[in-house]
Amino acid sequence: MRKPILVTLDKKLVTLVMLVSLIGIGITIALSFHYGNIIIEERIIDQLTSESTIRGDSLNSLLTSKIQQVQVISTDPMIRNLINELNAIEDDSVFDTRVAERRIDFLIQIQAIEISIGGAFDLENVEIVGRDGKRLFALINTPDEKNFESDPVFRKGLGISFAEFTTGNDDKRKLVVATPIFSSPRDVNAIGVAIVTASTQSVDQVLLNRQGLGKTGESYLVNSDRVLVSESRFIENAAFKQKIDTHPVELCFDSNQNYVGQYTDYRGTIVFGASYCLIGSGLTLLVEIDDEEVFEPVSTLRERVALLGIVITITVGVVAYFLSKSLSIPLIMLQRAANRITSGDFNVRTNIRTDDEIGQLSRSFDQMAEKIQESLLKIKEREEIIKQQKDILLQFSEHSSNYCVCFVDIVGSTRLTSKLTDLQTSKFYSIFLNSLATVITKNGGVVVKNIGDALLYYFPKTDVDDVAPFEDMLKCCMRVLDAREIINNSLREESLPEISYKISATYGPVRVAIIATSAIDDIFGATVNACSKINSLAKPNTMIIGESLYKKVKGVKGYVFEKTASYSIDVENKFDVYEVKLETTPRI
């Protein structure tokens, strides 16, 4: 008889591996997207760097040209003579008359200068101001601004030539260029200042050029006050109103470094941008494109590939369905057998006799069911023993000893946590409790539990007449107080409020409950109650002790014990409370 061909599990898995290869295809596609993003990012960075450099150089040249044009006024001999003549007049009435008389002379020289530079300055006003801040000439008279003594443009213009952006009385943006005027090139003290106001049309032509910036790109200027001085294409009338404190701006003005990369702009939108520092002009140029637009081609490609992936997945799913049928029948038999065992029927057997791995699994399953059936009787016999052991674990023994008990509590915790979120409150208490528990444990104390915002702990070695354990207890509590600085540092790092806390300690009989199911003992009794009650008598960041503990530790060197109050348990029972301090001067 012809032996049937065995279809083993490894042959079936070959087909599955072919399907798994689709995952490799998916990974390859994902990596392609990843490197596509990198390439696009590199290209946009190069593009923005180029745009910022070209526009920055253009603006730099433009502003330098404006300053040079104004400096022509400052070097004109006739204008120098007129300024010296008017500066020498001290009488105000004579001064006003002479200014009016010399206006035509100034006007002739200004017009001649404007013609000589080609009339390309976009002049709106030209003002000549004397060294004392008196206006000597204005192309357009503004009588309400005759004295420039306190004007920042005038004061700055006495020392250097500069150009800056400002707003006029009509709230329109203006370009103001100022330069000092000297009697001769060798002079160091200016005799006056030439202040020229021009339109920003030439600057706006550079900034508003959208070429190379896509649909969402823009270029704009920020001054050293971190304020937008050009128009925004996204926010209306934003000039001189919008604060710009993005990373490229800070880097430019703080470190004189250009920046290119990804960051959040003044709108809160993620963008790719490049900066160009015009430090000599006190300006920063930024050229930006929205992150969403940069990666839009990749997003479109991702959607199309995702659609193709869905088609491939459906095709693979159909193939996998028919393939799984050849594997599912014996597996279903195993599942049904496992369900019967779950319901308590251990007599079930699969009896699958194939020669592949599933057949081997079936035989192992049958052996397991047989072993479980044999073990079931033994398990039932031991149930009673387990029940008895459980009863023992739930019992606990008690004994009483004389211990030193301590209680540390946060001052005003309700107020401190009232404005915190649940997560911040949990972090607040976690830092406090865990930090103090570590200090206490390292110094011989046993932490019992936390009670709200307080920590209860005791010293098991104080059930003796020897003073040494009590001295160790005092050292531990002093270290707990010293730990406040470390705890507050941790709280500040998490932006949480700082704390103060108080320590109270008593000595006396304590009931200790040793629970078999817990590794931590519990304590209770009148001594514990008294310790928690007197805590309210302590000042913040101090330690107080009851009279019984004072009698044990009053002879310990290095400490001062000062009576601060008395605590009454009832009419007949009361005891004194002492504050513990480190001794600052040695005893004689």
Name all domains of the chain by residue range, CATH numbers in brackets: 75-202 (3.30.450.20), 298-393 (no CATH), 398-582 (3.30.70.1230)
Give the per-residue pLDDT at 394.
Answer: 41
Do 501 and 410 form a contact (C-beta atoms < 8 A)?
yes
Pair of tokens at residue 75: 């070097």
Query: DSSP 3-state assignment of 492?
Result: helix
CA–CA dist 581, 563 (Å, integer): 11
Give the per-residue pLDDT at 520.
Answer: 62
Give the per-residue pLDDT at 383.
Answer: 65
Q: Buried b vs exposed e over 551-560: b needs ≥16 C-beta within 10 Å?
A: ebbeebeebe
- Residue 220: count other Cβ atoms within 10 Å of its Cβ: 24
For helices 296-342 and 9-74, what crossing angle results, to 10°? 150
- Residue 272: count other Cβ atoms within 10 Å of its Cβ: 24
Q: Which helix (H) or strand (E) holds 413?
A: helix 413-417
Non-local CB neighbours of 237 within 8 Å, separated by 6+ positions: none
Measured CA distances, 586 to 433, 487, 498, 500, 562 (Å): 34, 30, 33, 29, 17
For the chain, 588 residues long, give each residue's pLDDT as a single digit of tens: 455 555 554 566 556 666 776 687 778 777 777 787 888 888 989 999 999 999 999 999 988 988 888 888 888 899 999 999 999 998 988 988 998 899 998 888 888 887 776 655 577 888 999 988 889 998 887 655 567 888 888 888 888 999 999 887 777 888 999 999 998 888 888 999 999 988 888 888 888 888 888 888 999 999 989 999 998 888 888 888 899 999 999 999 999 999 999 999 999 999 999 999 988 888 999 999 998 888 887 777 777 777 777 777 777 666 666 666 666 667 677 777 777 777 777 677 777 777 777 777 777 777 787 777 677 766 766 666 555 554 444 444 456 788 999 999 999 888 888 888 988 998 999 999 999 999 999 999 999 888 888 899 999 888 888 889 999 999 999 999 999 999 999 999 999 999 999 999 999 998 877 655 555 667 888 889 889 889 989 999 999 999 989 998 988 888 999 999 888 877 677 888 999 999 876 555
Non-local CB neighbours of 53 within 8 Å, separated by 6+ positions: 276
- Looking at residue 12, the DSSP 8-state letter turns out to be H
- Looking at residue 419, the DSSP 8-state letter turns out to be T
Residue of 317, 538, 333, 501 lying closest to 410 (CA atoms): 501
Give the per-residue pLDDT at 328.
Answer: 66
Give the per-residue pLDDT at 90.
Answer: 87
In angstroms, how far is CA 315 from the centroid of its own chain? Answer: 47
Nearest-10 Cα torsion for 166, 168, 170, 172: -30
- pTM of model > 0.85: no
- Looking at residue 461, the DSSP 8-state letter turns out to be G
Q: Which helix (H) or strand (E) holds 539?
A: none
Give the per-residue pLDDT at 188.
Answer: 86
Do 133 and 147 form a contact (C-beta atoms < 8 A)?
yes
Q: Where are the alpha helices (DSSP H) in 443-559?
A: 468-482, 484-493, 526-534, 547-553
Q: Please provide residue 429's backbone torsions phi and psi, each rounded to the nearest 5 degrees.
A: -70, -35
Pair of tokens at residue 450: 């936390």
CA–CA dist 441, 421 (Å, integer): 30
CA–CA dist 261, 245 (Å, integer): 16
Query: DSSP 3-state assignment of 223?
Result: strand
CA–CA dist 206, 56 (Å, integer): 9
